[in-house]
């Protein structure tokens, strides 16, 4: 057997050790499924075996199903469906039902199985343990158990929806299933997900002891008279399901078929005998796999993201172990860049204009950690260790042995030039210098450098400690070593890098500006103000554009507009936008959330933000009945998607995976679409072009299909069809 070993001890207890060769994590794939079936048969049929303990030889128990394997299933489904829809559906169901059948054989067999969960167990791997008669888990703090399938458009199809809803109180169960929330050992035990938490050293012995002590080979739901925590027919049950449905609708606007299917699995499954319930789950799992949403989400949020997180865009130059960096500018961004770096053990020299400012930057880390300690998310020891990695100074000489310098000083070309020159004087020719500028072209800033090849953009998003994306910007002369260092650093701080070429706004902000611009258009047109944010959310955006604009600050939008006009002339900006933004900032001081007033009023908590009532007066409101909700949804999604397509056409984005991943991680572009280019592919190029033309006619030239879109529509191409091949050959 390739992936498992089985050893029988003197008491007849089989220890099954899952340890996939050549992989850092165990995952469920075709071979694992086959080998598991053989193991299950062996345990059932070998009279010398009294029971089995399953554990893993890796640090974690297992990460879940190998989603590329599921991706293959989805692909085969599409091919067969083209000829025979029923056959395709049956094929998908058979594939989905396979794991359920295997696991049910463990559970319904007559020999006890114990899962010795030695580390994190997620998705299908956690479902394997749920089918065992007992679960013993290590007390290692870093270990978690959970079912994250919902996050990539799937559902837990290895019995997870049925077993969790029969083990855990309804509210926590639904949260686990719908939000993919994972739990640490103590909480998992409290929730009834696992039976015991023991020190790692005792894990196997304790698991075996349970079998020696006569652990019953029966799941609770196979016992007569079993009652699930949620009685659907009780008043609480009725309330839970109807409120749950409402909440689901409120949060997902019906955009996620997997979420709806999870609810159905629980609702229908709890009314059925367990074996039938598993079949129902497999049916919904198969249906989920057949949806374009699952296909797009798995591709972008799992496959593409994993590839980028493995450094797919890294040039083939020597690996860097980033040990020490310099951060210049200890303000809002610099302080948190220092924090996320020190958190992974990188030494940071934090520089500002004076010692007080530099110390204030370090104090931010201290405050953040104090808050985390209060919430039991960190400890005094961790805080001390992290702070030890940050040295504050005003002296550039301290940068001499840094691998990488990141500047996050004021957004001012002159100041950035001085800082670059000062750094150059203090560092070796090999030192890589990165700017965190959000608007100034990297090639422009690189002019101040003694070595433009070593100059690159590393653009963080705020809040740096929460945002998982970092945009790396290549200047005209940036070389491979700078790119490799930037990618190695971003991966070291556990974020996802995308690499784009130099352009105004780079990639993410170009798309975000389109989103904001469209909301400004709508305001001026008199679209009823509450519809703007609400319909954007219904289209799948996590935050409405007016709320987003308030959060990033309207005076920042004003600065961007002014700079663009200064660089490109008056025609570069719609005069209605200039008027609107100037009116908000100059006439009313409504600069955004930081001032407590922007498009919304922000009264002190707990009061909720409310739209600024005067907006309605300023822009005569259309009758809501006359406004097409579909048009609003399309305007938001199409304007962003068109901009993403433009960046591909202009060569700003050279890898389509990055456009999709970047848009979802950077500003939450409707995740169910799999990103803006996946969205265009799903609509179909011809249909997208047609609808864009309609929108252009009614709402403005910015919707006019680009040359590339029209060309692809004509040829019947898709983005992943046309550019996907390039990625395969690059891999």
List active site positions: 438, 459, 471, 509
Closest approach, Cβ 552 to ligand NAD, in A, equals 7
The helix (run of H) or strand (run of E) holding residue 159 is: none
Distance of CA 681 to the CA centre of its chain: 21
Residue 505 or 705: the one with the smaller Cβ distance to ligand NAD is 505
Residue 379 or 418: the one with the smaller Cβ distance to ligand NAD is 418
Residue 408 near ligand NAD by CB under 6 A: yes
Residue 200 or 415: the one with the smaller Cβ distance to ligand NAD is 415
Closest approach, Cβ 361 to ligand NAD, in A, equals 7
Closest approach, Cβ 309 to ligand NAD, in A, equals 21
Closest approach, Cβ 503 to ligand NAD, in A, equals 16
Near ligand NAD by CB under 6 A: residue from 120, 436, 501, 558:
436
d(CA 277, CA 269): 4
Residue 409 near ligand NAD by CB under 6 A: yes
Residue 226 near ligand NAD by CB under 6 A: no
Region from 170-178, 205-213, 407-415, 441-449 binding ligand NAD, contact rule CB under 6 A: 407-415
Region from 60-68, 237-245, 325-333, 698-706 binding ligand NAD, contact rule CB under 6 A: 325-333
Residue 215 or 350: the one with the smaller Cβ distance to ligand NAD is 350
Distance of CA 44 to the CA centre of its chain: 41
Near ligand NAD by CB under 6 A: residue from 143, 204, 333, 498:
333
Residue 120 or 443: the one with the smaller Cβ distance to ligand NAD is 443
Contact predicate 658/498, CB 8 Å: yes
Residue 505 near ligand NAD by CB under 6 A: no
Near ligand NAD by CB under 6 A: residue from 334, 666, 674, 675:
334
Residue 64 or 329: the one with the smaller Cβ distance to ligand NAD is 329
Residue 327 or 648: the one with the smaller Cβ distance to ligand NAD is 327
How many residues belong to the site for ligand NAD (CB under 6 A)? 23
Near ligand NAD by CB under 6 A: residue from 40, 136, 164, 330:
330
Give all strands of the β-sheet with 347-351 in edge-to-edge order: 390-393, 347-351, 324-328, 404-407, 432-435, 455-460, 469-474, 496-501
Pairing of strands 600-601, 610-611: antiparallel
Structure tokens at 709: 């879109």
Residue 471 near ligand NAD by CB under 6 A: no
Here's the x/- map for ligand NAD, 562-591, by CB under 6 A: it reads as ------------------------------
Residue 154 or 357: the one with the smaller Cβ distance to ligand NAD is 357
Residue 469 near ligand NAD by CB under 6 A: no
Phi-psi region of 350 (alpha: psi -120 to 50; beta: other; left: phi over 0): beta
The beta strands (E) that lie in 664-725 are given as: none
Contacts of 55 (CB under 8 A, 6+ apart): 15, 16, 17, 18, 61, 115, 116, 117, 118, 203, 204, 207
Region from 258-266, 365-373, 411-419, 592-600 binding ligand NAD, contact rule CB under 6 A: 411-419
Residue 7 or 356: the one with the smaller Cβ distance to ligand NAD is 356
Could you write out the DSSP letters of every residue in 347-393?
EEEEE-SSHHHHHHHHHHHHHHHHHHHHTTSS-HHHHHHHHHTEEEE
Could you write out the DSSP letters of every residue in 405-439?
EEE---S-HHHHHHHHHHHHHHS-TT-EEEE--SS
Contacts of 714 (CB under 8 A, 6+ apart): none
Residue 244 near ligand NAD by CB under 6 A: no
Residue 664 near ligand NAD by CB under 6 A: no
Region from 9-17, 322-330, 398-406, 709-717 binding ligand NAD, contact rule CB under 6 A: 322-330
Closest approach, Cβ 415 to ligand NAD, in A, equals 5
Pairing of strands 469-474, 455-460: antiparallel
The helix (run of H) or strand (run of E) holding residue 456 is: strand 455-460
SS3 196: strand
d(CA 17, CA 14): 10
**414-416-420 Cα angle (round to 5):** 120
Contact predicate 470/629, CB 8 Å: no
Distance of CA 587 to the CA centre of its chain: 39
Structure tokens at 627: 């406004």
The helix (run of H) or strand (run of E) holding residue 115 is: strand 113-117
Residue 265 near ligand NAD by CB under 6 A: no
d(CA 435, CA 207): 53
Here's the x/- map for ligand NAD, 335-354, by CB under 6 A: it reads as ----------------xxx-
SS3 147: coil
Least Cα distance to 118 among 147, 139, 149 occurs for 139
Phi-psi region of 716 (alpha: psi -120 to 50; beta: other; left: phi over 0): left
Closest approach, Cβ 498 to ligand NAD, in A, equals 14
Q: In this chain, which residue has its C-beta nearest to ligand NAD? A: 331
Residue 168 near ligand NAD by CB under 6 A: no
Near ligand NAD by CB under 6 A: residue from 141, 243, 317, 410:
410
Closest approach, Cβ 408 to ligand NAD, in A, equals 4
Least Cα distance to 324 among 351, 345, 340, 347 occurs for 347
Region from 396-404, 431-439, 447-455, 561-569 binding ligand NAD, contact rule CB under 6 A: 431-439
Q: How many Å is the Cα radius of gyration of the chain? A: 28
Angle formed by the axes of helices 629-649 and 707-715, nearest 10°: 100
Residue 64 or 334: the one with the smaller Cβ distance to ligand NAD is 334
Residue 462 near ligand NAD by CB under 6 A: yes
Residue 331 near ligand NAD by CB under 6 A: yes
Least Cα distance to 640 among 688, 587, 712 occurs for 688
Residue 269 near ligand NAD by CB under 6 A: no
Longest dimension (CA), the chain: 85
Residue 549 near ligand NAD by CB under 6 A: no
Residue 567 or 614: the one with the smaller Cβ distance to ligand NAD is 567
Residue 106 near ligand NAD by CB under 6 A: no
d(CA 688, CA 700): 16
Closest approach, Cβ 139 to ligand NAD, in A, equals 40
Structure tokens at 681: 């592919």
Near ligand NAD by CB under 6 A: residue from 139, 411, 574, 711:
411
The DSSP call for residue 620 is P
Residue 228 or 333: the one with the smaller Cβ distance to ligand NAD is 333
Near ligand NAD by CB under 6 A: residue from 43, 182, 260, 419:
419
Region from 41-49, 406-414, 518-526, 639-647 binding ligand NAD, contact rule CB under 6 A: 406-414
Residue 178 near ligand NAD by CB under 6 A: no
| Binding residues vs ligand NAD (CB under 6 A) | 328-334, 351-353, 357, 408-411, 415, 418-419, 436-438, 460, 462
């Amino acid at each position: 057997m390739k992936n498992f070993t089985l050893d029988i001890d003197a008491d007849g207890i089989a220890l099954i050790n899952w340890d996939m060769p050549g992989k850092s994590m165990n995952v469920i794939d075709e071979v694992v499924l086959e080998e598991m079936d053989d193991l299950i048969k062996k345990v059932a049929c070998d009279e010398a075996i009294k029971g089995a303990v399953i554990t893993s030889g890796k640090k974690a128990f297992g990460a879940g199903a190998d989603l590329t394997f599921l991706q293959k299933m989805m692909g085969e489904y599409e091919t067969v469906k083209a000829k025979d829809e029923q056959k395709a559906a049956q094929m998908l169901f058979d594939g989905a039902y396979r794991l359920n059948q295997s696991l049910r054989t463990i559970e319904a067999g007559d020999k006890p199985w114990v899962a010795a969960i030695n580390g994190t167990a997620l998705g299908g791997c956690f479902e394997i343990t749920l089918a065992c008669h007992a679960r013993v888990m290590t007390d290692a703090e870093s270990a978690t158990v959970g079912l994250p399938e919902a996050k990539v458009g799937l559902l837990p199809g290895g019995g997870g929806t049925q077993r969790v809803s029969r083990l855990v109180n309804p509210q926590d169960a639904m949260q686990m299933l719908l939000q993919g929330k994972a739990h640490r050992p103590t909480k998992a035990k409290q929730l009834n997900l696992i039976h015991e938490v023991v020190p790692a050293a005792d894990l196997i012995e304790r698991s075996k002891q349970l079998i020696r002590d006569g652990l019953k080979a029966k799941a609770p739901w196979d016992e007569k008279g079993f009652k699930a925590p949620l009685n659907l027919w009780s008043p609480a049950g009725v309330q839970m399901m109807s409120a749950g449905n409402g909440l689901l609708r409120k949060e997902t606007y019906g955009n996620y078929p997997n979420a709806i299917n999870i609810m159905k699995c629980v609702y229908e499954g709890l009314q059925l005998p367990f074996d039938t319930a598993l079949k129902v789950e497999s049916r919904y799992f198969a249906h989920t796999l057949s949806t374009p949403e699952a296909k797009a989400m798995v591709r972008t949020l799992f496959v593409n993201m994993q590839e980028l997180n493995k450094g797919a865009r890294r040039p083939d130059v020597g690996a860097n172990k980033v040990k020490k960096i310099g951060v210049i500018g200890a303000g809002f961004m610099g302080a948190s860049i220092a924090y996320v770096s020190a958190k992974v053990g990188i030494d940071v020299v934090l520089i500002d204009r004076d010692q007080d400012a530099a110390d204030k930057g370090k104090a931010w880390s201290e405050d953040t950690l104090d808050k985390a300690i209060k919430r039991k998310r960190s400890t005094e020891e961790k805080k001390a260790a992290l702070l030890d990695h940050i040295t504050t100074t005003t002296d550039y000489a301290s940068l001499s042995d840094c691998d990488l310098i990141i500047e996050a000083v004021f957004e001012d070309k002159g100041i950035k030039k001085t800082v670059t020159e000062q750094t150059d004087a203090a560092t070796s020719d090999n030192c890589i210098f990165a700017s965190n500028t959000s608007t100034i072209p990297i090639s422009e800033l690189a002019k101040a450098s003694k070595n433009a090849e070593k100059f690159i953009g590393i653009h963080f998003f705020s809040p740096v400690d929460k945002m998982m994306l970092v945009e790396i910007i290549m200047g005209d002369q940036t070389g491979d070593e700078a790119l490799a260092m930037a990618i190695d650093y971003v991966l070291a701080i556990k974020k996802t890098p995308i690499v784009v070429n130099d352009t105004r706004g780079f990639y993410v902000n170009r798309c975000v500006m389109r989103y904001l611009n469209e909301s400004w258009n709508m305001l001026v047109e008199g679209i009823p103000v509450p519809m703007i944010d609400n319909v954007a959310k219904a289209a799948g955006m996590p935050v409405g554009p007016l709320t987003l604009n308030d959060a990033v600050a309207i005076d920042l939008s004003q600065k961007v507009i002014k700079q663009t006009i200064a660089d490109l002339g008056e025609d570069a900006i719609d005069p209605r936008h200039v008027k609107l933004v100037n009116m908000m900032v100059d006439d009313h001081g409504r600069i955004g959330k930081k001032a407590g007033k922007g498009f919304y009023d922000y009264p002190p908590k707990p009061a909720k933000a409310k739209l600024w009532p005067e907006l309605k007066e300023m822009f005569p409101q259309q009758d809501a009945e006359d406004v097409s909700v579909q048009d609003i949804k399309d305007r938001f999604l199409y304007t962003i998607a068109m901009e993403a397509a433009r960046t591909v056409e202009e060569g700003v984005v050279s890898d389509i995976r990055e456009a999709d991943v970047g848009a979802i991680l950077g500003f939450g572009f409707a995740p169910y679409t799999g990103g803006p280019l996946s969205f265009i592919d799903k609509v179909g190029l011809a249909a997208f072009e047609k609808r864009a033309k309609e929108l252009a006619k009614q709402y403005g030239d910015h919707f006019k299909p680009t040359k590339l879109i029209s060309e692809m529509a004509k040829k019947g191409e898709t983005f992943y069809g046309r550019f996907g091949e390039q990625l395969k050959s690059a891999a």
